[in-house]
Amino acid sequence: MTFSFFSRKSNSVASYGKPISSIRVDVHAHILPGLDNGAPLLDNSIRMAQVLVDAGITRVVATPHIMKGYYENSLPRIQQAKAELVEELKRRKITLVVDLAAEYYVGEELLHQVNEGEPLLTFGVRGKKPYLLMETGILEEPKELEALIQGLVKRNIVPLLAHPERYVYLQNNFERAIELFRMGVLFQVDWQSFHGREDRHIQKFVERMVDYRMVSFVGTNLRNEDQMPQLIDAASQPYFRLMTEIGLLNNELR
């Protein structure tokens, strides 16, 4: 069955009538076409871009997966996908700025790249330390994590751990999250983790992170346009509003 974003306009966030939060910069989205488990085609990327704009987002950091054996995306391939998207956004007059980074999987490959001084896809504000977005497996902390953090800090790159609330090894040991925070790790939580129907273990962890003032960024982790109703619901939740009132770093990237 074919899907038309425009034919279902009444169900999109465009019908919401206003930005769904004060967040204007999305730092985690799988919006580039054909690179990972996000947008498969350019048309999908455009629909995702449109709903982000309708939700009040003016800038998005595209963060395709880089994971050995699964998503072995090279810099030229990622740059080409970004160029295609930017050109089509311009043609359709969709006003969304696209920055380029990646979501790196923590393992031996990334540790080698960091220690050898290889170029990395980071994002940030000119004149300040850049951020490197990284993720781990769900169940166990990778043995390379601490060495990787040390290597990044040595290179004046800020380690930014994506969706820590989803890792069982942190859900079961909040003190470890505090230890990582003290080592220089910042945390990016997923927008939809505040959704009313999200797993309660995830909700409890992310709420505790807000209470401890340990959330630096929130990201949609967007993979398709159908996630937006969940994001709208999440933005209305008390802890999401508290998080934005306390302060995030997202809008510093504007």
Residues 178-205: tens digit of each pLDDT: 999 999 999 999 999 999 888 999 999 9
Provide the number of structural domains found in the chain: 1
pLDDT of residue 9: 41
Q: Output the average pLDDT for the chain.
A: 92
Extract the tokens encoding 174: 């909040």
Distance between CA atoms of residues 55 and 38, nearest Å: 19
pLDDT of residue 16: 52
pLDDT of residue 228: 83
Provide the residue count of the chain.
254
In a domain, 162, yes or no: yes
pLDDT of residue 19: 82
Say which CATH number the domain at 109 has.
3.20.20.140
Residue 13 has pLDDT above 60, yes or no: no
Distance between CA atoms of residues 47 and 63, nearest Å: 17
In a domain, 222, yes or no: yes
In a domain, 4, yes or no: no
In a domain, 58, yes or no: yes
Residue 32 has pLDDT above 90, yes or no: yes
- The sign of the torsion formed by the CA atoms of 48, 49, 53, 54 equals negative
Cβ–Cβ under 8 Å, residues 198 and 163: no
- Encode pLDDT of 195-244 as tens digits: 988 899 999 999 999 999 999 999 999 999 898 888 899 999 999 999 99
Distance between CA atoms of residues 81 and 214, nearest Å: 33
Domain span at residue 179 reads 21-253
Instruction: Name the pLDDT band for 11 (thresholds 50, 70, 90).
Output: very low
| 3-state SS, one letter per residue, for 106-143 | CCHHHHHHHHCCCCCCCECCCCCCCEEEEECCCCCCCC
Q: Which residues, other chains included, contact 153 with Cβ-Cβ below 8 Å and sequence gap of 6+?
A: 159, 183, 184
Q: What is the largest CA-CA distance in the chain?
A: 51
Give the rounded percent of residues in the chain with a pLDDT score beyond 70: 93
- Encode pLDDT of 40-70 as tens digits: 999 999 999 998 998 899 999 999 999 999 9
Average pLDDT over residues 91-115: 98
In a domain, 156, yes or no: yes
pLDDT of residue 196: 82
In a domain, 82, yes or no: yes
Distance between CA atoms of residues 62 and 39, nearest Å: 11
> CA torsion angle for 242, 246, 251, 252 (degrees, to 10)?
-170
In a domain, 190, yes or no: yes
In a domain, 188, yes or no: yes
Location of structure tokens 């465009």: 14
